[in-house]
Amino acid sequence: MRPAFCLLGGKFYNYDLDKLLPLAVALELIHMATLVHDDVVDSSLTRRGIPTVKARWGNKISTHLGDYLLGKSLILISHYENPLITRVLADTSVKMCEGEILQISSSFNTNQTIKDYFYRINRKTALLISASCQLGAVACGAPAHLHQTLRRFGHHIGMAFQITDDILDMTAKQAKLGKPVGGDLKQGIITLPAIYALQNSPERERLHQLVIKPDKSDEEVDEAIALIEKCGGLDYSSDIARKYINKAKKELHLLPDVPVKKTMLDIADFIAVRQF
């Protein structure tokens, strides 16, 4: 037992690290399971510059390993008595799958709107980060107004993270990103910079032709990225990411001044400038 205390809202909440750690591990196992499955769906051979499970052992092992990790997370979660923890994680897991299915079903579809994109990335990314921020406070016994504030912080951070990730897919150096640049365009995944450009570029017809082409050459991917950048798609997306980060910081203003608050502010700032 490793008891500790957390000051929230002027009150001290007793929490046991040995009780919190299984929840943190369960959340990371869910995250890892989604990554293993994603690499199968996307036929990804590297992640952050390291060979994926798919690359080493193939689709069958990868699929079962992802299921195994999810099963392990369920075992850890089953020990918690608070029904909110299991309800949030179950709902999050379902909606994450919905987000991935939406992404697959909308591949090469240039009629997507910015609203469609936000709906998709909320499920694909933001919900898990939101749950991660919320449930630690729930497990500590924090009141609803505090863990809901952390949930909203996580949502805004998650949206900004995914938008930044989609920008980096077009702008980062492959050695730093750890995966091929332009991978989304090659797979027909239409992200915020491309959606903006398809609606606003003077050369939208050419961009449309490039985006819907199933087998793009590296040169065609580079051309599409150049058109997106030329009309302001990358700058627009960066502005949206910064707005979400500012929203996240405003949520933190509602929390008491404890040391971890500075860490959370640093995380928000890092997302805006990260290069990988």
5 confidence band (pLDDT: 50, 70, 90): very low
Supply the pLDDT for residue 13: 52
The answer to whether 178 touches 184, Cβ cutoff 8 Å, is no
pLDDT of 132 over the 90 cut: yes
Rounded Cα–Cα distance for residues 203 and 71 (Å): 48
Domains, the chain, ordered by start: 15-79 (no CATH), 82-273 (1.10.600.10)
Q: What was the pLDDT predicted at 174?
A: 66
| pLDDT on residue 4 | 47
116 CB burial (10 A radius; 0-12, 13-18, 19+):
middle
pLDDT tens-digit map of 188-234: 999 999 999 999 999 999 999 999 999 999 999 999 999 999 999 99
Rounded to 10 degrees, the C-alpha dihedral 147/251/119/179 comes to -100
β-partners of residue 14 are: 5
Cβ pair 69, 35 in contact under 8 A: no
